[in-house]
Amino acid sequence: MPELHALLVGTAVAAPVVAFAMLATLIWGRDSVSERAVVDITRFAFFVSLVASLSLMTWSFLGAHSFLVDLGPWFEVGSHSFRITFLLDRLSTSLMTLTTGAATLIGYFSRTYLHGERGHPRFYLLLNVFAAGMLILVSAGSLDFLFVGWEIVGLTSALLIAFFHERSDPVRNGLRAFITYRICDVGLLTGTIMLHHFAHNANFQPELGPGHWVAGTAHLDTGAATLVALLFLLGAMGKSAQLPFGGWLPRAMEGPTPSSAIFYGALSVHAGVYLLIRLTPLLEDAPLASAAVIAVGAVTTVLGTLTGRVQTDVKSALAYATMTQIGLMFVEVGLHLPGLATVHLLSHATLRIWQLLRAPAILHEMHSLQGALDHEFETGRWLDNIERKFKGPLGAFLYQRALDRFYFDDIGDRFVVAPILWTAQRFAWLEARLVSAKSSGGVRRGPETVSDRQLEKVS
């Protein structure tokens, strides 16, 4: 039996990797690739992956609760061994099925949607990498391995946001998402390292709770658990677009609709929630960290829903709606209700992928609703939402704040990014002086004369 599980999970993860390798070779070798070949390779890989995931899920719900598959060390030095392990339980197999299911759906959807697009092969290439990364992320048996998937997902996400790279905005927004991810990944990576430091291991099982994933306790004292859990929270906040890091999410709606759907409706954006659900035992040992998770989720959900109400484009509205619900999931995890959070996650992902896929149809839908509801539609009176209670200056104030998204991005730009860039430029200036002084025998030159541009222009 264990061999079978190893085979299945290995196949599920390897199929998109192999498809990626095939596509990459195809694309690198020639100037134009047949769309059909690209789609067929991808479709086959996803199908294989889906079947493997489905069988694993069926098994996990019918039979034993959880199972650790160890494919052996990836590399090892002395006692440090980076083992490729998969933790298969109801949580991970459900998410594997969600991942492969969504990937299959998007792969099928995009074959016509992206037909004739110049980036067609690139999209499928990235979709395969993403699927592999996401599968590793949800099935990894240790945080080290999870991090591998986490990074891959982050990178493909940034690249797909910048899919339409002949315009500058998508590139800029892709970079913003990537920077946010990177800042928050420092939390995840440091957390993992700290966990190694405290617990000498970062496996989900048994270190972070033996047995079924909702039960069990971690073997850390409260202080260490709190520190580590807070670091992981940082990591989760970036990926799951929680405030104050959530500003990238609406900006991520630059790519083709199917990629928005799979990344920011369904999978990638829920990765943070998954991580926290996995770490429930750790959170149970760290009440302070749990409170922080609840606080982050609550703030995000309230401000997110307010911001979402003023969005006038369909994709940003959906982005904030997603952010709101994910905030609620954080609250659920913080309240130590991983079961509820899991159901919420799976169900929400299905809903959003559907809504984002049909986002362009909003015009059609709204017009037909308008036909039936007439002026009730225009006023929305019978819905009687909360924002209608805010009148006068308070209303204007809140509306203004919501329209400017509560300034989270601006604050980040002004108080984090700008100072770092400022420092970097000063350092670069220093370095230019150093280089010019050392290598020109101490002759001082003004900072502007030894700009990089001149260094480059020298011939």
Q: How far is the CB of 443 from other proteins (least distance, A)?
A: 9
Task: Answer yes or no: are the C-beta atoms of 202 and 142 closer than 8 Å.
Answer: yes
x/- site string to other proteins, residues 193 to 232, per CB under 8 A? xx-xx-----------------------------------
Q: How far is the CB of 211 from other proteins (least distance, A)?
A: 26
Q: Between 284 and 409, whose beta carbon lies closer to other proteins?
A: 409
Task: Answer yes or no: are the C-beta atoms of 308 and 317 closer than 8 Å.
Answer: yes
Restricted to residues 320-379, the positions that interact with other proteins (CB under 8 A) are: 320-321, 324-325, 328, 343-344, 346-355, 357-375, 377-378
Span of 238-246, 267-275, 280-288, 303-311 interacting with other proteins by CB under 8 A:
303-311
Span of 43-51, 142-150, 218-226, 233-241 interacting with other proteins by CB under 8 A:
142-150
Q: Which residues are 142's β-sheet partners?
A: 203
Identify the CA nearest to 25 among candidates 96, 98, 103, 128: 128
| 117 lies in the binding site for other proteins (CB under 8 A) | yes
Q: Which of 16, 141, 174, 238 lies at the binding interface for other proteins (CB under 8 A)?
A: 174
| 114 lies in the binding site for other proteins (CB under 8 A) | yes
Rounded Cα gap, residues 152 and 127, in angstroms: 11
What three-state secondary structure class fits 123? helix
Identify the CA nearest to 300 among candidates 323, 321, 277: 323
Q: How far is the CB of 282 from other proteins (least distance, A)?
A: 18
Q: Between 336 and 358, whose beta carbon lies closer to other proteins?
A: 358
Span of 43-51, 212-220, 271-279, 319-327 interacting with other proteins by CB under 8 A:
319-327
Restricted to residues 176-195, the positions that interact with other proteins (CB under 8 A) are: 178-179, 182-183, 185-186, 189-190, 193-194
Span of 107-115, 211-219, 238-246, 278-286 interacting with other proteins by CB under 8 A:
107-115
Q: How far is the CB of 388 from other proteins (least distance, A)?
A: 8
Q: Which residue type does 375 have?
A: H
Residues 6+ apart with CB under 8 A from 2: 67, 69
What three-state secondary structure class fits 140? strand
Restricted to residues 144-163, the positions that interact with other proteins (CB under 8 A) are: 144, 147-149, 151-152, 155, 158, 162-163
| 169 lies in the binding site for other proteins (CB under 8 A) | yes
| 170 lies in the binding site for other proteins (CB under 8 A) | yes
Helix (H) or strand (E) holding 366: helix 362-373
- With the C-alpha atoms ordered 356, 362, 368, 371, is the resulting torsion angle positive or negative? positive
Restricted to residues 47-76, the positions that interact with other proteins (CB under 8 A) are: 73-76
| 424 lies in the binding site for other proteins (CB under 8 A) | yes
Q: Which residues are 80's β-sheet partners?
A: 77
Q: Between 5 and 270, whose beta carbon lies closer to other proteins?
A: 270
What three-state secondary structure class fits 215? coil
Which DSSP state fits 200?
Answer: S
| 403 lies in the binding site for other proteins (CB under 8 A) | yes
What three-state secondary structure class fits 220? coil
| 436 lies in the binding site for other proteins (CB under 8 A) | yes
x/- site string to other proteins, residues 236 to 255, per CB under 8 A? --------------xxxxxx
Span of 40-48, 50-58, 209-217, 312-320 interacting with other proteins by CB under 8 A:
312-320
Q: What number of chain residues touch other proteins (CB under 8 A)? A: 163
Q: How far is the CB of 414 from other proteins (least distance, A)?
A: 6
Tokens standing for residue 118: 């110049």
| 411 lies in the binding site for other proteins (CB under 8 A) | yes
Q: How far is the CB of 69 from other proteins (least distance, A)?
A: 19
| 138 lies in the binding site for other proteins (CB under 8 A) | no
Identify the CA nearest to 250 among candidates 312, 299, 164: 312
Q: Which of 61, 435, 444, 447 lies at the binding interface for other proteins (CB under 8 A)?
A: 435
What three-state secondary structure class fits 159? helix
| 286 lies in the binding site for other proteins (CB under 8 A) | no
Tokens standing for residue 206: 């048994």
Rounded Cα gap, residues 117 and 125, in angstroms: 14
Task: Answer yes or no: are the C-beta atoms of 102 and 49 closer than 8 Å.
Answer: no
Q: How many CA atoms lie within 13 A of 184 on its CB side?
A: 27
Identify the CA nearest to 267 among candidates 352, 162, 148: 352
Q: How far is the CB of 395 from other proteins (least distance, A)?
A: 5
Span of 53-61, 85-93, 273-281, 317-325 interacting with other proteins by CB under 8 A:
317-325
Task: Answer yes or no: are the C-beta atoms of 84 and 14 closer than 8 Å.
Answer: no
The Cα angle at residue 233 between residues 405 and 228, in degrees rounded to 5: 155
Task: Answer yes or no: are the C-beta atoms of 169 and 39 closer than 8 Å.
Answer: no
